[in-house]
């Protein structure tokens, strides 16, 4: 299996990350992509590569995490790939051998595990499928001696549960079949600073009918860093990146003939990205809001209203910021005065 590790100025955490992969009991290669680091990350990578012949280093000018992941994906020789951010780490002694054997047995092209989140006080993301969710709760929350389990399902079965739970890409908890990604030319959109992982995961789940496996085991520890690239990006850039991701999903819908259910699921993912974008808008300074309001179109408002209705139908309530965000839409559209022009500029069509 190929572990792809994009690296940018994470010297403080990099050794722990690499060591956590090295300690896994599995035949692997580590492809570390140094994305123009200016700290001592490059030296740390060189030291590890000198000790372990299965570590390869790719060095490139700073292009962003998507470009780094794509470079690693192009170089990967393993039958399966796993993306690990260099400030996070894998938990010890995970059952990767068993997972890869199960993927071959069920002809699954994706395996999804759980992850633990530092900023949620080390809480873990629950699986989407009910049976495996109960197993995870028994092991981790109720501290029972139950063994971990897996469940193989079609993406068509899996997506409704994933959407109901609240779509979260958790890219780092997925194992992907390398040939599957290459056959469909699935890569990360390098123009996006936010939501690139959401776009990648939903395309991987829907570009053809597939079997995937969900596990109850926590594979990954996600560390929240206030100075990470995502958190340092300004809210204006994040807002525009989210709108580009929504447009990319709309292009994806146009280019493929999905059944009604899958189409709806992809729309729901777009709406989750929109909700995040509007959260970024609310955090902007007044001067930035004035500039960004030109990008808020009737199309987006229609998407937001539809997603809010679906959210209410699924969970019985709207999001906490529903009325606040709705009022923002109304004010922006009312002040615009010429909605048709903004619709033309948005590139988004419902």
Listed in sequence order, the residues at least 6 apart from 216 whose beta carbon sits closer than 8 Å to its beta carbon are 114, 127, 132, 133, 135, 136, 139, 148, 149, 150
Measured distance CA(195)–CA(201) in Å, rounded: 10
Concatenating the DSSP letter of every residue in 175-244 gives EEEHHHHHHTT----TT-SSSHHHHHHHHHHHSS--EEEEEEEEEEEEPP-TTSHHHHS-HHHHHHHHHH
Can you give the pTM of this predicted structure?
A: 0.89
Q: Would you say the C-alpha torsion 224, 225, 226, 229 has a positive or negative sign?
A: negative
Please tell me the predicted confidence (pLDDT) of residue 33.
98
CB 4 within 8 A of CB 176: no
For the ranges 157-161, 211-215, 333-337, the lowest mean pLDDT is seen at: 333-337
Query: In this predicted model, what pLDDT tens digit does every residue of 57-114 receive, in sequence order?
Result: 999 999 999 999 999 999 999 999 999 999 999 999 999 999 999 999 999 999 999 9
Query: In this predicted model, what pLDDT tens digit does every residue of 272-285 receive, in sequence order?
Result: 898 888 888 888 88
Query: In this predicted model, what pLDDT tens digit does every residue of 184-235 receive, in sequence order?
Result: 999 999 999 899 999 999 999 999 999 999 999 999 999 976 555 544 456 8
Residue 117: pLDDT over 50: yes
Query: In this predicted model, what pLDDT tens digit does every residue of 17-47 receive, in sequence order?
Result: 999 999 999 999 999 999 999 999 999 999 9
Please tell me the predicted confidence (pLDDT) of residue 177.
98
Domain 2-230 sits in CATH at 3.90.550.10
Distances (CA, A) of 301 to 177, 201, 249, 321, 333: 37, 25, 17, 14, 9
Structure tokens at 93: 């002694």
CB 90 within 8 A of CB 217: no
Measured distance CA(241)–CA(234) in Å, rounded: 11
Structure tokens at 199: 């776009």
Distances (CA, A) of 97 to 88, 238, 245: 21, 38, 35
CB 235 within 8 A of CB 280: yes
Please tell me the predicted confidence (pLDDT) of residue 213.
98
Please tell me the predicted confidence (pLDDT) of residue 120.
67
Please tell me the predicted confidence (pLDDT) of residue 227.
55
C-beta neighbour count of 340 within 10 angstroms:
10
Residue 343: pLDDT over 50: no
Please tell me the predicted confidence (pLDDT) of residue 350.
40
Q: How confident is the model at residue 337 (pLDDT cuts 50, 70, 90)?
A: low
Q: Which of 60, 57, 53 is nearest to 44 (CA)?
A: 57
What would the mean pLDDT of 1-11 be, rounded to a whole number? Answer: 97
What's the half-sphere exposure (Cβ side, CA atoms, 13 Å) at 193? 16
């Amino acid at each position: 299996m190929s572990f792809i590790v994009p690296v940018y100025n994470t010297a403080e955490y990099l050794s722990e990350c690499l060591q956590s992969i090295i300690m896994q009991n599995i035949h692997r290669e580590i492809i570390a992509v140094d994305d123009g680091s200016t700290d001592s990350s490059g030296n740390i990578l060189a030291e590890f590569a000198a000790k372990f012949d299965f570590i390869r280093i790719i060095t490139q000018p700073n292009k962003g995490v998507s470009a780094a992941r794509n470079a690693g994906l192009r170089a990967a020789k393993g039958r399966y790939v796993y993306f690990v951010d260099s400030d996070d780490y894998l938990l010890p002694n995970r059952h990767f051998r068993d997972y890869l054997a199960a993927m071959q047995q069920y002809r699954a092209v994706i395996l999804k595990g759980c992850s633990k989140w530092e900023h949620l006080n080390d809480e873990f993301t629950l699986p989407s499928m009910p049976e495996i969710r109960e197993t995870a709760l028994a092991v981790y929350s109720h501290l029972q001696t139950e063994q971990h389990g897996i469940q193989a399902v079609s993406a068509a079965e899996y997506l409704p549960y994933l959407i109901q739970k609240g779509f979260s890409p958790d890219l780092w908890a997925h194992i992907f079949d390398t040939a599957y990604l290459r056959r469909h030319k699935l890569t990360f959109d390098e123009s996006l600073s936010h939501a690139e992982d959401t776009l990648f995961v939903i395309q991987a789940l829907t570009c053809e009918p597939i079997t995937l496996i969900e596990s109850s085991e926590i594979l990954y520890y996600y560390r929240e860093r206030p100075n990470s690239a995502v958190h340092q990006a300004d809210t204006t850039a994040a807002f525009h990146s989210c709108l580009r991701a929504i447009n990319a999903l709309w292009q994806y819908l146009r280019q493929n003939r999905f059944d009604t259910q899958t189409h709806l699921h992809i729309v729901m993912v777009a709406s989750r990205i929109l909700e995040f974008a509007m959260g970024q808008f609310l955090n902007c300074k007044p001067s930035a809001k004035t500039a960004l309001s030109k990008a808020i179109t009737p199309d987006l408002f229609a998407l937001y209203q539809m997603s809010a209705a679906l959210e209410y139908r699924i969970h019985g309530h709207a999001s906490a910021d529903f009325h606040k965000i709705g009022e923002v839409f109304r004010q922006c559209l009312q002040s615009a005065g010429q909605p048709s022009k903004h619709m033309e500029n948005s590139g988004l069509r419902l």
